Structure 1
Amino acid sequence: MPRKTIPEMSFPQIYPLLVAKAERKGRTKAEVDEIICWLTGYDEAALDNLLERDITYAEFFGSAPALNPDRSLITGKICGVDVATIEDPVEQNARYLDKLVDELARGRAMEKILRRSSAS
């Protein structure tokens, strides 16, 4: 079976892996959900609804209500690839999400993960 590209991957199948990554390090599903909502503009109810359907990353990000413009502040590498250099927008958004969950799992404060200034 050929390997799926990131845009073809099932978001509801990847989601539990993101939650498990955070929970292994003492973080919560609620924090992962907060990150996803910040990144995409979905609210909790919409996120829950999407997890009930078999949607791809392309559909998930393509129908996002409001991709956060501050996502461009996310820097660094994920799987050895600099997120700023990824050309495919769906793949880049998926890697942004993975990077944010990595930061959560490493114990970074939610305020810093969501690129909020302490004055906000």
Structure 2
Amino acid sequence: MPKPKGSWVRVRELTKEQKAEIGAVCERFIAERLKPRFLRRIRPTQFNYPVDILGRWRGRRYSFITRYRSGSPDNLGEEFESAFTRLDHLEGHLAELRFDVFWHRHTGQWYRLYSGVTLDEALLLIEDDELLHPPI
């Protein structure tokens, strides 16, 4: 049932310090888990090929991103990024930090796979669920 207009809802926004701490945990996860597993070495091809895995905040969302480089003679060396998994901070949880875990579909739309998980649970899901792996 929708909330009546003008009603108040308490939310817990992330502070800069919390974002920095979560970002550091995610960067460590990328460096220690994702890169060794999915990007052991860069293999240039005549098509687009992955050169890096990184993470970035955008508002209350933290995205896991693959950076690609083009091997095509038309645009040789140009790079672009594509997000493959996203964590959305749930501001309605006041007791502890919770996230929704989203998968980036080939259609360009985001699809929520898991809801209300802790950061540690989210990172385990990214490591175990094939849909959340980088498309390499």
Q: Which has the larger radius of gyration?
A: 2
Q: Which structure dedicates a bigger proportion of its chain to helix?
A: 1
Q: What TM-score, normalized by structure 1, do the two folds share?
A: 0.34
Q: What TM-score, normalized by structure 2, do the two folds share?
A: 0.31
Q: Which structure dedicates a bigger proportion of its chain to strand?
A: 2
